[in-house]
Structure 1
Amino acid sequence: MTARVTFISPAMSSSLRQARFDDGGSIDADGAARARAAAASLPAAVRVVVSPTVRCQETAAALGLDGAQAAELAALEVGRWRGLTLAEVGAGEPEAVTRWLTDPASAPHGGESVEDMCERVTRWLAASQDAGGRTLAVVEPEVVRAAVVHVLGAPSAAFWRLDVPPLTATTISGRVGRWNLRLGHPLDSAEAVADH
């Protein structure tokens, strides 16, 4: 049986606009309105899962989705950098930021490394592939990056080379240990999550 996972990135928030590490803030009014408008473009799903972050929970609600929280799909844990902008961290810890952006095994913030996160998402994907049917997953952009790195068999250093815009759908499908990838389409497009 073919499994499909459609990853939906959260709506815009002030944290995203400011390049701020997640601070638990809400999506903004425009982001919520766009999510509500995009709700009709979602395909039917066997299951819905949502990252535990506030903006993913709020995006799911605005999309009309009621899903279980999936701790395995949590955002990258950035330790003491949480709530700061990348510019603020760069000004205070430039060597640490450089190390973090170039060495996927490092976690100078005291949180989780990119490699650890990629492994966590890979484990979740393995379990999802066995489930069959379509899963909608409202998750942070870094979860989408980790999934794409896995599907492509790319090195974890490729994680930072992937951009995931707000309210886009990235779909993977597969069976027997092999995934195919359909990259981030806007949710308001009629063909955003259509299967080809």
Structure 2
Amino acid sequence: MTSRITLISPAMNRSLRETRFDDGGPLDPSGAARAESAAGALRSADRVLVSPSVRCRETASALGLSGVVEAELAGLDMGRWRGLTLDEVMAREPDAVMAWLTDPDAVPHGGESVRVLCARAGRWLEAAAGFEGRTLAVVEQEFVRALVVTVLDAPGPAFWRLDVPPLTATDLSGRSGRWNLRLGRELGGE
């Protein structure tokens, strides 16, 4: 059985624009407008899932999607760094940031490590492989990166080498243990 999964990264908001660890803020007006203009550009799906973050839920809504919020699709838990910009944390805790950026097991923020996120994404993908039909999921950029690292069996530090622009699609097709990827497709593009 072949599964087809399309991951949509959220539209722009203040946190993304300011390199801020997600603070639960809404989409900004330009992000919402861009998502609304892409509504209808997605292939139909047999099921739609959404990360619990505000920006993912608002992106799904702006795209005209009604989906089920799934906790396992949450972005990386940034613990006490949530709401701060990367520059703010770097000024206060440069060694902690460097450890976090180089060691996939590091959790200086008290949240979740990159390796734990990749494992969670891998478990979700394994379960999703059992669903026959097309799945569309609006998820945080770091969840997309975690899935790519997992699918490619790449080393943990590769997580930081992947760029997932706002409001792009990453397509996976295949089955558990054998996936093909199509990365960074702008919505509306083929």
Name the counterpart of 2:38: 38
One-letter identity of the residue aligned with 1:163? D
1:56 matched to 2:86? The reply is no
Code of the residue aligned with 2:90 in structure 1: it is G
| Aligned residue number for residue 25 of structure 1 | 25
Matched, 1:121 2:121: yes
Residues 94-173 of structure 1 mapped to structure 2, 5 A cutoff? 94-173=94-173
Secondary structure, in 3 states, of the residue corresponding to 2:122? Answer: helix
The letter of the residue matching 1:121 is A
Partners in 2 of 1:19 and 1:138 — Cα distance? 20
Deviation digits for residues 165-189 of structure 1 (CA, Å, limit 9, x no counterpart): 0000000010252111000111132
Which consecutive unaligned segments of at least 5 residues does structure 2 have? none
The CA deviation string for residues 121-160 of structure 1, in whole angstroms up to 9 with x for no partner, is 0000000011121110000000000010011110111000
Cα deviation, residue 39, structure 1: 1.3
| C-alpha contact (below 8 Å) 2:126/2:176 kept by paired residues | no
Residues 49 and 135, structure 1, Cα contact 8 Å, conserved in 2 = yes
Q: What CA distance in whole angstroms lies between the structure 1 residues aligned with 2:109 and 2:18? A: 19
Aligned position for 2:14: 14
Which residue is equivalent to 1:194?
none
Distance 1:175 1:22 in 2: 32
CA distance in 1, matches of 2:3, 2:188: 23
Q: Secondary structure of 2:107's partner?
A: coil
SS at match of 1:91: helix
Normalised by the length of structure 1, the TM-score is 0.95
Q: State the alpha-carbon separation in 2 of the partners of residues 12 and 140 from structure 1.
A: 11
Percentage identity across paired residues of the two chains: 66
Ranges in structure 1 where 5+ consecutive residues have no aligned partner: 192-196
CA shift, 1:75, in A, is: 0.7
User: RMSD between aligned alpha carbons?
Assistant: 0.8
CA distance in 2, matches of 1:153, 1:132: 24
Letter of the 1:51 counterpart: S
Q: TM-score, normalised by structure 2?
A: 0.98
